[in-house]
Amino acid sequence: MRITNSMMITRTMRNQNTNLEKMNKWNHDLSTLTNLHKPSDDPIRVSRTLRLESDISMSIQYKDNIESAKSWLEKTESAFNEINSVYQSIRELAVQGANGILKNEDTQKIAQEIKELKNHLIQIGNDTYLGRHIFTGYQTDKKLLNDDGSYNITDLDFKPINTDPLDPDYNPANLSSEVIKYKVGDSQHIDVNITGDRIFGALVDPDNKPQLFVDIDNLLTALDKGNHEDASASIAKMDEQLKVLLQVRGEVGAKVNMIDVMSERMSDVNVNLKDLLSKTRDTDVAETQIQLVTAEAVYRASLAVTARIIQPTLVDFLK
Q: What is the pLDDT of residues 105-163, one digit of tens each?
A: 778 888 899 999 999 999 999 999 988 999 988 888 888 899 888 888 754 444 444 44
| CB contact at 8 A, 223 and 107 | yes
User: Mapping DSSP to helix (H, G, I), strand (E, B) and coil, where does residue 74 land?
Assistant: helix
**Distance, CA of 306 to CA of 11 (rounded, Å):** 10
Whether pLDDT at 319 is above 70: no
The torsion angles phi and psi of 298, rounded to 5 degrees, stand at -65, -40
pLDDT at position 315 is 61
Residue 221, amino acid: T
User: Mapping DSSP to helix (H, G, I), strand (E, B) and coil, where does residue 160 land?
Assistant: coil
Taking phi over 0 as left and psi of -120 to 50 as alpha, with beta for the rest, 208 belongs to left
Q: Which helix (H) or strand (E) is 9 found in, with range?
A: helix 5-32
Fold of domain 50-277: f41 fragment of flagellin, N-terminal domain (1.20.1330)
Q: Which helix (H) or strand (E) is 96 found in, with range?
A: helix 43-97
Q: Indicate the domain borders of the chain.
A: 50-277, 284-319
pLDDT at position 15 is 80
What percent helix, strand, coil does the chain show, rounded to 5? 70, 5, 25
**Distance, CA of 51 to CA of 277 (rounded, Å):** 9
- Angle 211-225/43-97 helices, nearest 10 degrees? 10
Residue 137's CB is within 10 A of a number of other CB atoms, namely: 23
**Distance, CA of 310 to CA of 275 (rounded, Å):** 51
pLDDT (mean) for 292-309:
80
Minimum mean pLDDT among 89-103, 115-129, 255-269: which range?
Answer: 89-103
pLDDT at position 125 is 92
Q: Are strands 188-191 and 181-185 parallel, antiparallel or unpaired?
A: antiparallel
pLDDT at position 156 is 47
**Residue-averaged pLDDT of the chain:** 81
pLDDT in tens, 19-29: 888 888 888 88
